[in-house]
Chains A and B, each alone.
Chain A
Amino acid sequence: MTYVREIATVIANDADGDARMLRLGALRIAAAARPFQFVLAKVPAAGFMLRRPLSIFDAGDEEIELLIRPVSEGTGRLCRLAPGESCDLTGPFGREFDVPEDSVFVAGGIGVAGIFFALATAARSGRKAALVYGARTGAQLYAGRQLGDLAVDVTSVTEDGSSGLKGLAADFIPGIPSAETKLMSRALKEDLPPYRRAVIACGPRAMYVALHKILGDDARWYALMEERMACGVGACRSCAVPVREPAGSYVAACEEGPLVDAAAVDWGRLGEEI
């Protein structure tokens, strides 16, 4: 693993709904970046003690992109970085992950930032890639332009029906029976066909809970875990994800993840939404 600290330069900061897409000149991080990895960004203001973890939305030869939703003060300040200003980054952190052939990506809201790079890498190498992209409302479906530029089959789903299909992303994964179909098949005492495609998900905890319920224990799926972080290098053990083996133990999301095998996660012990 190669981690670096790099003072990146903001090249562009564009609105994307209520979020911002930052393009940064960051030679060394761009060169090392792999899908699913993240950076820790220093908030450019006094008084912040912890860097903010942000997925590498996409990376070119010399630049990276970050898609940031201003949820509170730290992300709010990062979203106001102007072109020409600098941004102190460390990374890229987290493990690389080989996406199984023919995987389905599932994103919820800003979670698209965590999987776009992997999706784009698959699509750019000519592999078939599909995304089910859900959000509460159409305004929280981000990266429309970037997704449109990829040869990817995108299914949009919103809870309020304001854009795309109405419902939850987890209910529209191609080849996966929805909760309703499952109920119906149980009523008719029919077996459902086993599902073999891998699912790669990034979104809020509620989405993982829904996926866990719908996919059951036999599906192959992977979730990008958002935990509070301090170091990014596995040294501080802040970013604990509860796992089943050994019972009662944890792994560090920054080191073993952030994409982790959902079958290994002890979902019952997962903390509240952070």
Chain B
Amino acid sequence: MNAEIKVEAGGLELATPVVLASGCAGYGDEWLELVDLDAVGAVVLKGVSLEPWPGNAPPRIAEAPAGVINAVGLENVGLDTLVREKLPALDGLPCKVVANVVGRSRDEYRDVCSALAAERRVDALELNVSCPNVEARGMAFCADAEGLRDLVADCRDVAGKPLWVKLAPMVTDIVAVARAALDGGADALTIANTVPAMAVNVEARRAVLGNVYGGLSGPAIRPINLRLVHVVYKETGADLIASGGVDGWRAAAAYILAGARAVQVGTALFDNPGAPAEIVAGLKEYVKREMFDGLSFLVGKLRGDRK
């Protein structure tokens, strides 16, 4: 049915290039009645840590120009509950399942990956490396290329399934960070996470978010992440999954032309739970109209790019 838009990305065969982004798609089944999962290639679950994390003080979300700023703070049920209660509920899901992993230390990432390796309902793992590393004075894992390579290599050793690494957009040298993750053994890179941001309520003279700072998502960050995808694709040719402001088929097509094999949809679900189905329909039309053999033929095919 979706032959023309089937893609292979990060070691997975995806029925469509639309992936639901971590943190916006809960534990995979919350949206069942509103989002057409037949239009979805994979769902990335909420980031999971070894123990439950409570998350940040409210308010946790603020509207911004063309985006939202969230400071949910990686609230999650923890590994045990994920395995015991959440994964079994996903048996009938028509798409692939990717578990997103967070941690405060290298050991924590490795332990979570190693436990998830045995879970048959998990088709791939995605490491969120934007978290602060308590062993490195709270510096984000992706801020240190060498440390990142070792972290990914540790996880690669135990993961036993495709491993995606989700990068942060605000790094000095995205190509160096991307290479480090690939050297560590990543099968694909998700580019990228939210952009650090804040909002102020001038009447109350207070930051809107309980945590003061949060991460900006939505169309506001699309041009930024689009460039990152393009740069990393040109320099590494790796399998890339784009994330940031995908709200329609044009945004998806732009990322694919820039070098992504699949796109994640997060914030757009809130406004329009029909977005995944609309994107799939739009991409099918596009492929047909432009007379391409299939969507995967379009990956990185920006005119004017040097080979």
Interface stretch, picked from A156-164, A166-174, A206-214, A232-240, is A232-240
B67 touches A235 (CB 8 A): no
Residue A31, interface by CB 8 Å: no
Question: CB < 8 Å: which of A1, A49, A248 contacts B271?
Answer: A49
Interface stretch, picked from B68-76, B183-191, B296-304, is B68-76
Interface stretch, picked from B56-64, B115-123, B156-164, is B56-64
Report B63 CB to chain A, min CB distance, Å.
Answer: 5
Question: CB < 8 Å: which of A5, A49, A241, A249 contacts B34?
Answer: A5
Report the separation of the CA atoms of residues A27 and B8 in the bound assembly, to the nearest whole angstrom.
41
Question: CB < 8 Å: which of B33, B56, B62 contacts A228?
Answer: B62
Q: Which residues of B contact A148 (CB under 8 A)?
A: none
B204 touches A272 (CB 8 A): yes
A249 touches B54 (CB 8 A): yes
A42 touches B271 (CB 8 A): yes
- Chain B interface, DSSP helix/strand/loop, else mixed: loop
Residue A267, interface by CB 8 Å: no
Q: Which residues of B contact A236 (CB under 8 A)?
A: 23-24, 26, 61, 70, 72, 270
Residue A146, interface by CB 8 Å: no
Report A227 CB to chain B, min CB distance, Å.
Answer: 6
- Chain A interface, DSSP helix/strand/loop, else mixed: loop
Report the separation of the CA atoms of residues A235 and B34 in the bound assembly, to the nearest whole angstrom.
12
The residue on B at minimum CB distance from A238 is B61
Contact with A along B190-226 (1 / 0, CB 8 A): 0000000000000010100010000000100000000
CB neighbors of B among A224-263 (8 A): 227-231, 233-242, 248-250
Report the separation of the CA atoms of residues A73 and B135 in the bound assembly, to the nearest whole angstrom.
45
Q: Which residues of B contact A230 (CB under 8 A)?
A: 61, 68, 70, 270
B271 touches A231 (CB 8 A): no
B24 touches A231 (CB 8 A): yes
Contact with A along B40-83 (1 / 0, CB 8 A): 00000010000010111111111111111010100100000000
A49 touches B218 (CB 8 A): yes
Report the separation of the CA atoms of residues A49 and B26 in the bound assembly, to the nearest whole angstrom.
19
The residue on A at minimum CB distance from B218 is A49
Q: Which residues of B contact A237 (CB under 8 A)?
A: 23, 46, 55, 60, 72, 75
10 additional A-B pairs beyond A90-B34, A248-B54, beta carbons within 8 Å, are: A47-B65, A51-B271, A227-B58, A231-B26, A236-B70, A237-B72, A238-B61, A239-B60, A242-B57, A269-B57
Residues of A that sit less than 8 Å from B by CB: 1-5, 42, 47-51, 90, 227-231, 233-242, 248-250, 269, 271-272, 274
Please, could you name 6 A-B residue pairs with CB atoms under 8 Å apart, sorted by A?
A1-B33, A49-B218, A49-B271, A235-B25, A235-B26, A240-B60
